[in-house]
A and B are shown apart, each in its own frame.
Chain A
Amino acid sequence: MRISFVGLILFIFSFSAFSAAKIEHWKTKQNSAVFYVETQGLPMVDIRVVFDAGSARDGYQQGLASLTSALLNTGAGDLNADQIAQQFENVGAQFGAGVSRDMAWLSLRSLTDKKLLNSALQTMQTIIAEPKFNENDFQREKSRRLASLKHREESPAAIANMAFFNTLYKDHPYAHPSSGIVETVSGFTAENLKDFYKQFYVASNAMVVIVGDVGQKQAKEIAELLVANLAAGDVPVALPEVSFSRTGVDQHIEFPSAQTHVLAGVIGKHRKDKDYFDLYVGNHILGGSGLVSQLFAEVREKRGLAYSAYSYFSPMLRKGPFTMGLQTRNDQTAEAVKVMKNTLKQFVDKGPTEKALIAAKKNITGGFVMRFDTNRKLTSYVSMIGFYKLPLDYLDKFQEKIESVTVESIKDAFKRRVKPEFIHTITVGGGAS
């Protein structure tokens, strides 16, 4: 009886060990890395071509990576912007491009019908290898970008986010917003974008991700085709490490809003951090598990101080931030900030309870399959694994890593990495003055 009981408990804990996606990896003739997963059931495929060409590569020209990306589909080869858009949409394909601090990507979602897919791939190949950066397209997109940077100033949330990164990262390339600032973007020329493209959109700096209903042979052809006409180029130099500040700064920015937006945090962790899983599970309990986190309970459920209250780590190539956030009526900002900081302090001092840790593990492992239950989500995971050079069995080992976290390991990691006295706090709001 006893044995079968133990068996039952083990069974309950492990039955979500659904075999994760099988990622295949190879290099193209031009030395671009390829990551591929075959999924069946729907005649569609998601493709991404990723470059180490995010806004961390801007240098002093803040916003250059982002505007370069925005120009790619405005003219390439013999095609103008209208023709490019038509070619994709005639075959029902969806094209996208964008940047984060670390990456620049082009994405394609297409049906797998040969004729339709080939047409979309040809267009994508042209965009990747032969963008024109025509002067008239450049001027238009620059004006649109400047308007959106102005629009950003309407948003206390966006202002808080910019101030937060500035305060945390100072001179590091992660400090500025990916889309740039008016002062830098207004000085760009089309030549600046061409130069950026030539340096970073090269085969040795490219990665191709293919997830969908295509066989391996076809996936190989797709990858070769997409990067075929790129220059070989060089891998860019490594980004600088982030230096940790031993002072916390409180900064307030007046804004005529009904709520004050609060962001507080420190430099956090990178993608291959040795404390990755301890910090991940710890944060899940502190502020990462939505309706059941400690911050949510203290700020919203017990006191009704905010609609949303959360915390998260943003792991990047270098250490990304640990961020706590909430928004509250101007006159109760001090109280809400106090509750947020006390919750953190309590957590760092005492760590989670054993009970809270068990509940968190059950939530993470029990919901494991939902992390990649669509083609779209799986594509994001595979891109992340490929770009940050994580092991191909990352998803297979994920639950094991979660299970190995203990109350002590969380406490230890938080004590070393999230010191309450070094927290930077940004508040934006205060109402009409």
Chain B
Amino acid sequence: MIFRVILIALIMVPISAYSSSVKVHERILNNGLKVLVKEDTRSPVVVSQIWYKVGSSYEPGGITGISHMLEHMMFKGTDAYPAGEFSRIIAENGGRENAFTGRDYTAYFQTMEKSRLEISFKLEADRMRNLHLDPAELKKELEVVTEERRMRTDDKPRSKTQEYFMAMAFANSPYKNPVIGWPSDIANYQVDDLQAWYERWYTPNNATLVVVGDVKPEAVFSLAEKYFAGFKPSKVKAIKPQAEIEQHGIRKTTIKLPAKLPYVLMGYKVPVLNTIENESEAYALEVLAGILDGGNSARLATKLVRGKQIAVSAGAGYSLMSRLPELFMLDATPAEGQTVFDMEYALKEEIYNLKSELISEQELQRVKAQVLANSVYEKDSNFYQAMQLGMLETVGIGWQKVDEYVEKVNQITALQVQNVARKYLTEDQLSIAYLDPQPIAESKQRRKVTGGRHAN
């Protein structure tokens, strides 16, 4: 019985108990390469990530997706290490590696047993400057990327809806383009295009090297000196701002595709930490996203999935760490018997409630408790810690913000959440896409028995 009483009372998480953050060590080499090191000795492992300040939001029309294509080609060899050698050497050393491209970054990583960091640096430094772009390799890899696009987007009704949605919601911001690129752009990349892109962005002064694991910062800095300091910096010409023009009224689109369930996507234009004048607004939007979708106790699950049972699932999200202004996103699948328009109405009602009434202190504390707990859980993964540093640095916010996050969220009040809802989540700034499912042709099955002849 005593337990029940404690359970009903909200437990306040003591923030001071968990805010002991490990120091990040920074060194900038003479050629401008920024090196960040964070020690984590829980396992004899190290992750090394190199982040380049380039991604799909840097791409002009006609070559969308070229950052991602170049990421693929980075595995195709240099003069010193021909195609396949990079991956073979990493594998032989027990390493795991891969790369990823986003709107604002291209990054490459290796996770290794701690004594093998040097191998990673040696190979990564080599391909920063000595990539050999071969036309025959490009021809094959174009096919691979086209298959990747089919798999990720073309054959997935919701992914395709998202792609059309972004293309409509942004009028001129480069965020309107998919990271993987438009099909006709992918089909027409030339070696020259890739060579120019590589030379323009893959330079030490446009990169951040992040190392997290069981290492000594000084030792990592000298290894970085050894392999990267020899490269000369090059002048990186700043890209144009391409600021999104103002939106004057709601935008809607319907996408008809073979699918089984309807789906709705909604996005409000909002600023991000990198562009905002008053940064507490960005943290308030972050809390607002938590109020709507921070777990199973948040409003969308409680009210729309369980309460009104109008949605099969519903979500909300805000990317605080984007380089350019963003969309505050909502998406949902209506329950049987409900339409996308019922769904839209229900989601808008939740937005209206955020504007008309202050969120409860209990809800606010719950979001803060989750943010604080997550800041501990995140430290379970070196990879995630390196991701945070690399991303903040690469989009222009600066890695130092990583330590402020919990405290800044903790300062947000219910009134600030109401204010950002009123200021930014307005009808005129809204875009909506509806997925209108079309019948999937009755599937015909053919079976053929083979084998059996060799049974023994």
- A interface residues, Cβ below 8 angstroms from B: 15-16, 18, 39-44, 73, 78, 81-82, 85-95, 109-111, 113, 115-116, 118-119, 122-123, 140, 143-144, 146-148, 150-151, 153-156, 159, 246-259, 289-292, 297, 300-308, 327-329, 359, 362-370, 373-376, 419, 421-423, 432-433
Contacts and interface: CB of A to CB of B under 8 A. Distances in A.
Interface stretch (B203-211, B230-238, B392-400, B446-454): B446-454
Contact of A15 (B17, B115, B365, B441): B115
B111, B144, B157, B372: residue with the most chain A Cβ atoms closer than 10 Å: B144
Contact of A147 (B14, B154, B261, B301): B261
B447 A250 contact: yes
Nearest to B148: A307
B312 A82 contact: no
B335 A143 contact: yes
Given A150-B260, A305-B143, A87 B7 contact: yes
A228 to B, nearest CB: 13
B13 A291 contact: no
Interface string B354-383: 000000001001100110111011011110
Interface in B331-369: 333, 335-336, 362, 365-366, 369
Nearest to A86: B297
A307 B144 contact: yes
Contacts of B445: 251-254
A370 B112 CA distance: 8
A249 B376 contact: no
Contacts, number: 272
A91 B140 contact: no
Interface in B388-444: 440-441, 443-444
Pick the 8 closest A-B CB pairs, nearest first. A366-B94, A92-B373, A367-B94, A304-B143, A85-B297, A304-B140, A248-B451, A85-B296
A356 to B, nearest CB: 11
Nearest to B154: A258
B94 A256 contact: no
B371 to A, nearest CB: 8
A367 B120 CA distance: 14
A327 B151 contact: yes
A253 B88 contact: no
B42 A41 contact: yes
A15 B298 CA distance: 48
Contacts of A292: 84, 87-88, 91
Q: Interface size bucket, B side?
A: 35 or more
A363 B261 contact: no
Contacts of A290: 91, 96, 98
A300 to B, nearest CB: 6
Contact of B96 (A41, A95, A367, A423): A367
A421 B93 contact: no
B452 A374 contact: no
B175 interface: no
B225 interface: no
A423 B155 contact: no
A305 B147 contact: yes
A82 B447 CA distance: 48
Contacts of B83: 301
Given A15-B115, A256-B441, A291-B91, A89 B376 contact: no
Contact of B380 (A111, A297, A376): A376
Contacts of A89: 294-298, 366, 369-370
A374 B443 contact: no
A329 B296 CA distance: 40
Nearest to B146: A329
B48 to A, nearest CB: 13
B258 interface: yes
A249 B447 contact: yes
